[in-house]
């Protein structure tokens, strides 16, 4: 079967750095998305990785290792507004999106 | 800015009722999707549409149907609502081919079936 694993919940301190991991076992791979979802709101796009390596976008970076079936989202200089759920989703060999359950990130002052 | 709107934020219905959830996008996107989101589970695709009057079953289509009469509008229909359909329903749209492109989501409809 196809599976996406993410930690259910993480806690971090304002101003710090946090890494949210995503591991996947899917039938093929055609890219990986990260979305952010604040409580009660719509998910919004953060990043897309299809090649190995690190993609940096301001305070957020996303890393992919296809050989390890692994990605992480790195958030630097955490702000209270970063409190949200972070969803990992993989495009499989049929170009169907497989979604993880999401990681709820709690930021403490 | 892409805008995806859903007809209701909260909805309470009784078992056996017919329920309509409407979604409208204003960016001329080809693709539209209906998901449900439940605690501890990833988004699950119910139905999607790549063009007007076209529809494809997703992973959990049972108990649901859809309609896409106009490009900007995609409706989800629960023919006879049941308590196990209590959930958050998210609509999304995208350009490009299938599910390969960034999806833009509506704010969601939290449906409670009593």
pLDDT digits (tens, 9 = 90+) for B98-107: 888 899 999 9
The pLDDT of residue B1 is above 80:
no
- The pLDDT assigned to A2 comes to 85
Inter-residue contact A38 to A21 (CB < 8 Å): no
Task: Give the CA distances from residue B70 to residues A42, A109, B4, B12, B26, in Å, rounded to whole numbers and listed in that order.
Answer: 23, 48, 15, 27, 12
Separation of alpha carbons A35 and A48, rounded Å? 9
CA distance B80 to chain A (A): 26
Checking if the pLDDT of B56 tops 90, the result is yes
The burial class, CB within 10 Å (0-12 / 13-18 / 19+), for A47 is buried
Instruction: Tell me whether A12 touches chain B (CB under 8 Å).
Output: no
By C-alpha distance, the chain B residue nearest A101 is: B42
**Residue A19 CB partners (closer than 8 Å, separation 6+):** A72, A73, A74, A75
Provide the shortest C-alpha distance from residue B28 to chain A (in Å). 18
Arithmetic mean of pLDDT, A89-100: 93
Cα–Cα distance measured from residue B11 to residue B86, given in angstroms and rounded to the nearest whole number: 10
* pLDDT tens-digit map of A28-75: 999 999 999 999 899 999 999 999 999 999 999 999 999 999 999 999
For chain A, what is the largest distance between any 2 Cα atoms, rounded to a whole number of angstroms?
43
Mean pLDDT of chain A: 96
Beta strands B109-113 and B10-13 are parallel
Residue B2, pLDDT > 70, answer: no
pLDDT at A24 over 80: yes
Q: For position A15, what pLDDT does the model report?
A: 97
pLDDT, mean over chain B: 94
Cβ pair A65, A50 in contact under 8 A:
no
Closest alpha carbon within chain A to B94: A45
Query: Span B16-44, mean pLDDT?
Result: 95
- Check A45 against B42: CB less than 8 A apart: no
Name the band, by pLDDT with cuts 50, 70 and 90, for residue B96: confident
């Amino acid at each position: 079967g196809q599976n996406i694993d993410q930690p259910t919940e993480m806690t971090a301190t304002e101003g710090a750095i946090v890494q949210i991991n995503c591991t996947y076992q899917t039938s093929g791979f055609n890219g990986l998305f990260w979305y952010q979802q604040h409580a009660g709101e719509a998910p919004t796009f953060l990043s897309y990785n299809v090649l190995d390596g690190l993609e940096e976008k301001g305070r957020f970076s996303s890393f992919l290792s296809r050989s390890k079936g692994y990605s992480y989202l790195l958030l630097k200089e955490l702000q209270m507004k970063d409190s949200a759920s972070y969803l990992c989703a993989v495009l499989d060999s049929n170009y169907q999106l497989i979604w993880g359950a999401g990681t709820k990130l709690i930021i403490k002052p | 800015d892409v805008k995806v709107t859903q007809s209701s934020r909260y909805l309470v219905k009784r078992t056996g009722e017919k329920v309509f959830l409407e979604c409208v996008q204003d960016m001329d996107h080809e693709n539209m999707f209906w998901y449900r989101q439940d605690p501890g589970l990833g988004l699950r695709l119910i139905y999607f549409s790549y063009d007007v009057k076209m529809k494809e079953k997703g992973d959990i289509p049972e108990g649901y149907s859809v309609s896409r009469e106009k490009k900007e509008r995609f409706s989800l229909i629960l023919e006879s609502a049941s308590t196990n359909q209590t959930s958050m329903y998210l609509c999304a749209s995208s350009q490009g081919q299938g599910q390969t492109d960034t999806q833009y989501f509506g704010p969601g409809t939290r449906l409670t079936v009593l």
